[in-house]
Amino acid sequence: MPQVNNRFVKNNIGLLAVTSVCSLIALVVLIFVIIESIEMGKNSAKVKEMRDKIQEIIKQNPAPVEGNKPLIKQDIEIYRRAAAELQSHFGTPLEPALDEFFKVLKLRKDREMWKEEFGDEPVPDQITRQRFVDVFRKKWDGIEPGNYAKQRYEFNEFRRSFANWDKALEVFVKAAQPCMVEPLNRDNSDEVLMAALGFPRRMDGDPRKLRNVLEGTREQLLKDLNDQIQIAPSAAGLGFGQLPEAGMQGQGELTFAPDDYPFIVRHLDIVCDMLRRIRDTGIKCVYDIRIRRGGGGEGGDGDGAVGGEAGRFNSSFETVGGYEVSHYQLEVSGSMESIRKFAETLDKAYPQRRVYIIKSIFLYAEENGAERVFSGADKEEPGAANPAQPAAQQSRRSRRSRRSRAADVGEDNQGGQNEADAERQRRLEEARRLYRERQARLPYDKRDGYGEVLVGAGDTYRAVVDIDYVARSGR
């Protein structure tokens, strides 16, 4: 039996060698697989652990790195100042004038009101704007809105607590007048100042005062426009109806409710500012001005114009967040370029602290240039009417020509005039014939009128423009 085994080994030595080597290799591979499996299991456990940590971090509020906290506070302060600067442009055109007013205004230190206000602190020479507003509001808010006599008395007592109110008011008027159309004088400057500080301008509920403001502002607006823009009769009331005639009743009293007075003067200021800004844009005429109701504020239904309806102006401001939005619609006429300048001018009003937003512009042509082209009216020949000239100018020229010929007939004999007319007509026809032949010999792109804009060049358009005015609440 041992001999048989030895013989088997001798006869299959190659096979046994290969089998041994393969077994050894398989054993080594198996060891490597076991090692890698163990390592892979460890890595899988680490991945799961890291995923769990990430989920925990996501659920928590990430805390800033300690070294970044000063930088974050610095960024917050920068954004706060930038936001305040941006907000100052929304509906506060008299802000610089108020700054000048408070630089000059001085307190009367002997007044008991200031001694009580400052308590143990020494009464300063000047007062900040916020403290000024807070002190006056304590008195103002305790008075009923319709008690105009009490309001006037408290205001007069308050202004007497300042040593140089009149001088400071003159400084305010000088700085504020360029920012508004309404003429400032002794009768309205105090009201305008307090309105700029956020107090409603009620004008003692006196319709005569309102009438004076409306008439005086409209008269000043027409002077400022200097006939560069025509105000059509339909827009003469500046959005308040036909003033003053159609807005008057009985002994010259306005039909507007006293509660509407503060809103009316605010709309008047905004409308006049828009019209004065577009004076140099090339707009020819303003056909309609509408003050529209708010779309979401208190009492506003977002539909229709306010017009002269009593008791409705308080619904014409829509409150959006911390801002008040008023809506206007202007219908104007002018060239396409002038309407484009109209929109650009209002869009660039924000440096003067007025923010206008053009919501939509609807255009339609007053003249049909295409009809003029297809009718052949634009074919210019010697002696023919020039289509670039206004029709009224051509008509006036033709009437002058007819009157001139009629006068010549009256002075000369009829027969001689007929011969002169016939000769003139013959020369005109000959000139036209030569002109047509000369143009026909030229290349098409060298002929007179080639490349000229025939449709849309200089045409007049009507534009219905919807405009929003945005102001900070309480301003």
pLDDT digits (tens, 9 = 90+) for 308-345: 444 456 556 788 877 889 999 999 999 889 999 999 99
pLDDT of residue 183: 94
Distance CA 425, CA 2 (A): 148
- For residue 68, what pLDDT band results from cuts at 50, 70 and 90? confident
Distance CA 396, CA 398 (A): 5
- For residue 155, what pLDDT band results from cuts at 50, 70 and 90? very high
pLDDT of residue 402: 46
Distance CA 325, CA 91 (A): 10
Is residue 399 over pLDDT 60? no
Is residue 61 over pLDDT 90? no
pLDDT of residue 150: 92
pLDDT of residue 390: 42
- For residue 298, what pLDDT band results from cuts at 50, 70 and 90? very low
Q: Kind and range of the H or E element at 471? A: strand 461-472
- For residue 43, what pLDDT band results from cuts at 50, 70 and 90? confident
Is residue 395 over pLDDT 60? no
Is residue 438 over pLDDT 70? yes
Distance CA 355, CA 343 (A): 12
pLDDT of residue 97: 94
Q: What is the mean pLDDT of residues 166-188?
A: 94
Mean pLDDT computed over every residue of the chain: 79
Q: Beta-carbon neighbour count of residue 52 at 10 Å?
A: 10
Q: What is the mean pLDDT of residues 65-90?
A: 82
Phi, psi of 47 (to 5 degrees): -60, -45
Distance CA 29, CA 45 (A): 24
Q: Which two tokens stand for residue 303?
A: 């539909």
Is residue 285 over pLDDT 90? yes
Q: Beta-carbon neighbour count of residue 139 at 10 Å?
A: 16
Q: What is the mean pLDDT of residues 180-198?
A: 92
Quick: pLDDT tens for 243-275.
554 343 333 445 788 888 998 999 999 999 999
pLDDT of residue 5: 63
Place of tokens 């490597």: 32
The letter for the amino acid at 291 is: I
Q: Which residue has the higher pLDDT, 89 or 236?
A: 236
SS3 385: coil
Quick: pLDDT tens for 109-122.
777 788 788 877 88
Lowest average pLDDT, out of 95-99, 312-316, 462-466, goes to 312-316
In degrees, rounded to 5, the angle at the alpha carbon of residue 388 between the alpha carbons of residues 387 and 393 is 85
pLDDT of residue 302: 46
Is residue 392 over pLDDT 70? no
Cα torsion angle, 9, 11, 15, 18, sign: positive
Cα torsion angle, 205, 304, 90, 87, sign: positive
Nearest CA among 287, 291, 326, 288 for reference residue 307: 291
Which of 13-17, 40-44, 221-225 is the most confident on average? 221-225
Distance CA 182, CA 94 (A): 13
Percent of the chain at pLDDT > 90 equals 31
Is residue 106 over pLDDT 60? yes
Cα torsion angle, 22, 23, 24, 27, sign: positive
For 280, residues 6+ apart whose C-beta sits below 8 A from its C-beta are 228
pLDDT of residue 182: 94
Distance CA 473, CA 294 (A): 14
How is the chain split into domains, by residue range?
207-367+464-472
Is residue 354 over pLDDT 50? yes
pLDDT of residue 383: 46
The letter for the amino acid at 305 is: A
pLDDT of residue 293: 74
Is residue 198 over pLDDT 70? yes
Q: Kind and range of the H or E element at 156? A: helix 148-159
